[in-house]
Amino acid sequence: MQATLIFTIMILSVPLPLVAREFGLGPSGILLLSAAYGLSFSSLLLLGGRLADRHGGRRMLRAGLVVLAVTSVAGALAPTFPILLVTRFAQGVGAALAAPAAVAVVRALFPRSADYGRAMATWGGLSVLGGTVGSLLSGVVTAWVSWRWLFAVPVLVALAGLALSGRRLPPAGPTAAAPAALDLRGAVLATAGVCAVGYGLVGSGEHGWSEPVVLLPLVLGTALLLAFAAAERRTADPLLPPGFLADRRRVSALAAVMATAAATALTFLVLPLYLQQLRGWGVLATSAAFVPYAVVLLVAGRPAGPLIARYGPAAVTTGGLVVAAAGLALLAGVGPDTPYATGLLPGLLLLPAGAAPAFAGSAVLATGGVRPERTGLAAGVLNTAMELGPTAGVAALMALAATRPTAVGGYAAAFAAAAAGLALTAVAVAFLARPRTARTPFTPTEEYSA
């Protein structure tokens, strides 16, 4: 389910120009359509996490699956742009309900901390794999059939999840007594703030930072998030307890998730532009160029769990970040006539070889040791970092690329900056997430401050 939720982000990435021509969209319409799912997904994840903790993982997972299935069918059949846009926003709502609830169900399936840690290592690898498969499949399906058939994937997975969850999943009821009232004020402030900041960052890709369409959402979103932080300190049962982000290991894990997600999103944005616009490659050839990336990602994710059990999540995360940074550094050598086999492929192999263990280790660090009644909250925060990383990171990196006189020079500068960012994040994780005792690299039963 988690892989499908991330997959759904990418289903319109490749066919977006075709969709724009079909509905006659201008730049603003393209911007809205490309950002709709991610905006509602990321902005509602905190609320989705708290609902999972309050009402139980299985119940909220099934609710999210119903919303995802219905809205995906509507998206496939959408006759007009407004309907398609609304369905993409609504898909994000279903994803925000399902993603934290899925992790809460995983916690119920694996009550032992060590088993839960290994499961979350797998979860982290599957997350990044979903986005990769989404990019590859979107090009193939668009070339062979129609972009509308891409919506069949979330429909089928959601229906399968609904059919199996009643028999295969534990009830996973509320882990603690429900509070008297949900923090609706915090939910509104957090949702509006994250959505406004995300919209402003997405808009920076087509507009200058000082233009009102970018500046106003950023200022408004920042003000709303500051109001949210102040309100949470005065709420008896806050949506995001202030101390939840005080743990250095959790913060370093979230930074690693954001940096790695931004780096992978940059690669899937820049290289298709480079190959199609500057080198004249077709859609199918561009998708085929990423097949080795997907294979390495899948292979590299398998040993992540045993490595984490032996060396600890901090060491695996740090090592993964270093390897991924090396891959981006190789891609930073891209030029007008860089050959694929010797110039691009080495970077496309190293990047996923590091990204898979980095995501796996970060997922364990961010959720391991969290008390059962905070599992949904931890999953919501983790997924929020995974969504905001590409939005904020790619916006900043592409702004840097725009300062270079040529497109290729801008792409190279963006890759180099991303490599430096991953390297610095690796240093931060190595220091902040190191074990507190020398006896063992990771103590799964140790509670993080919450």
The DSSP symbol for 290 reads T
Instruction: Report pLDDT for 409.
Output: 92
Give Cα 193 to chain centroid, integer Å. Answer: 18
Sequential DSSP letters for 333-356:
T--TT--IIIIIHHHHHHHHHHHH
List CB contacts of 182: < 8 A, sequence separation 6 or more.
50, 51, 54
Domains of the chain by residue range: 2-183+235-432
Closest CA to 114 of 449, 378, 443: 443
User: Any idea which fold 2-183+235-432 has?
Assistant: Growth Hormone; Chain: A; (1.20.1250)
Instruction: Report pLDDT for 175.
Output: 52
Secondary structure E strands in 207-298: none
- CA separation for the pair 85, 32 (Å, rounded): 8
pTM given for the model: 0.82
Instruction: Report pLDDT for 230.
Output: 87
Instruction: Report pLDDT for 441.
Output: 43
Instruction: Report pLDDT for 174.
Output: 58
Instruction: Report pLDDT for 53.
Output: 84
Instruction: Report pLDDT for 440.
Output: 42
Characterize 279-291 residue by residue with b for buried, 16 or more Cβ atoms within 10 angstroms of its Cβ, and e for exposed.
eebebeebbebbe
In contact, 405 and 81? CB cutoff 8 Å:
no
Helix (H, G, I), strand (E, B) or coil at 11: coil
Instruction: Report pLDDT for 87.
Output: 95
Structure tokens at 410: 């801008």
Instruction: Report pLDDT for 405.
Output: 85
The DSSP symbol for 413 reads H
**Phi, psi angles (nearest 5°) of residue 285:** -65, -40
In contact, 82 and 22? CB cutoff 8 Å:
no
Per-block mean pLDDT, blocks of 10 residues, the chain (450 long): 84 79 80 82 86 86 95 94 94 93 87 81 76 76 85 93 84 54 80 85 75 88 90 81 82 93 88 85 83 88 85 93 96 92 94 93 84 81 84 81 87 94 95 64 41
